[in-house]
Amino acid sequence: MMRIALLGDLHYPDVGSNNEELSVAVDHFFGQYLREFFSVEADFHVSIGDLTHLGLESEFVNVYNYIKQYNINFRAVLGNHDVLSLPKEKISSLIQQSTYDLIETQGSLLLFLDTTKEFELHGWGLDQKQWQWLEKQIDRSKEKPLFICPSSCSRNNRFFYSWCRFSIVPRHSPIVEKKKWTSIIFQWTYPCAILHS
């Protein structure tokens, strides 16, 4: 059985070097917090948005310095705070992964979506290229369970309509109707929707 450990809204900050006491406190807190998170036995450790607070290069570099200390499979889904300061191309280079991607195992398909807009705190959605990619992945998942990890979405956008009312595609959208098997969408740190045929 596959295990996924989820982390949301870490908001790792760059506090600068002017306040040594605050810098030590931040280092202590986040070092301890991430050690606890990475001690959870899982096949994949996934941040589902807002790993950083302002999306600064220093924030990505520093938080990944913690992450690299552990022998884990880590994935970061970009959240709105992660894209506030840098172009997505630069972020991809820093985190060494695409902004949207997939992992296929023998028993399931995990999709990592990029639902953010560059430099926008409240911008959400998928571009046409990613929509086409998503539709192709839904087609190929066939009978496998499909796990979808978007970043958090605003109330004004629809993905897979869920009980928590935060999503980006209406539940009865043709793209959703294609998937006749169990799909689980993770938002924040809990499964937000479970869809069955």
- Residue 123 has what pLDDT? 81
Pairing verdict, β 183-187 and 146-149? parallel
Domains identified in the chain and CATH numbers: 4-195 (3.60.21.10)
> pTM score, two decimals?
0.83
pLDDT range class, residue 165, cuts 50, 70, 90: very low
Pairwise CA distance, residues 74 & 72, whole Å: 6
pLDDT tier at 161 (50, 70, 90 boundaries)? very low
* Mean pLDDT along residues 45-63: 97
Residue 84 confidence (pLDDT) above 80: yes
Identify whether the C-beta of residue 171 lies closer than 8 Å to the C-beta of residue 161: yes
Higher pLDDT, 175 or 59: 59
The closest of 127, 177, 118, 185 to 151, measured between CA atoms, is 185
Look at residue 100 and tell me whether its pLDDT is greater than 80: yes
1-15, 52-66, 111-125, 145-159 — which is least confidently predicted? 145-159
Q: Does the pLDDT value for residue 158 go beyond 80?
A: no
> How confident is the prediction for the chain on average, in pLDDT?
83
Residue 197 has pLDDT above 70, yes or no: no
Q: How far apart are CA 185 and CA 180, in angstroms?
A: 15
Taking residues 136-141, report their average pLDDT.
88
